[in-house]
C-alpha cells in the first residue's frame, strides 16, 4: 500500500499595509467630518501561495486603537502564527484573542485574514 501523503499549509508571513480610501462624499458625524479613511490591510501568506486578507479600521474614539497600535499588534502576532499550520486557525485565534483582547479592530483584521487564508 502506498504511503499516505498529508499536505500541510504553513503560514509563512504576515504583512500590514496602511491605506487611504477616499469617500465618494464627505462623511460627517456630530463630532467630526472627513473625506478620507485611513485603514490597515493585513495579508496572511501561506507556503502554497494562498494569501488571506483582512482590514482594520481603528477609530480611537470607539476602540481606543490607532493605526500604529494595529501595526504593532500585527508585528507581535506574526511571531506567534508564522510556521503554524493554517488548519489550526481556530486555536491560533483563541490564543491571540486571549493575549491581545484590548485591540478589537486589529484582532478582527487578523481573524478575517486567517479565515480568508483557510477558506
**pLDDT in the model for residue 6:** 59
2 lies in a domain?
A: no
Overall domain count for the chain: 1
| Strand boundaries in the chain, DSSP class E | 11-28, 33-46, 51-56
Partners of 39 in beta bridges: 19
64: containing domain: 11-118
1 lies in a domain?
A: no
**pLDDT in the model for residue 94:** 93
- Distance between CA 109 and CA 43 in Å, rounded? 9
5 lies in a domain?
A: no
Reported as type and span, the H/E element at residue 58 is none
61 lies in a domain?
A: yes
**pLDDT in the model for residue 116:** 96
**pLDDT in the model for residue 63:** 85
77 lies in a domain?
A: yes
76 lies in a domain?
A: yes
pTM: 0.85
**pLDDT < 50 stretches in the chain:** none
**pLDDT in the model for residue 29:** 85
CATH code for the domain in which residue 107 is found: 3.30.390.10
Amino acid at each position: 500500500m502506498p504511503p499516505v501523503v498529508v499536505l500541510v499549509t504553513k503560514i509563512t508571513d504576515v504583512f500590514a499595509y496602511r491605506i487611504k480610501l477616499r469617500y465618494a462624499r464627505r462623511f460627517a458625524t456630530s463630532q467630526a467630518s472627513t473625506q478620507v479613511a485611513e485603514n490597515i490591510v493585513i495579508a496572511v501568506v501561506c507556503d502554497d501561495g494562498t494569501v488571506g486578507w483582512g482590514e482594520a479600521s481603528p477609530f480611537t474614539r470607539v476602540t481606543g486603537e490607532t493605526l500604529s497600535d494595529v501595526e504593532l499588534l500585527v508585528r507581535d502576532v506574526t511571531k506567534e502564527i508564522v510556521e503554524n499550520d493554517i488548519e489550526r486557525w481556530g486555536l491560533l485565534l483563541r490564543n491571540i484573542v486571549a493575549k491581545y483582547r484590548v485591540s478589537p479592530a486589529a484582532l478582527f483584521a487578523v481573524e478575517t485574514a486567517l479565515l480568508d487564508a483557510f477558506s
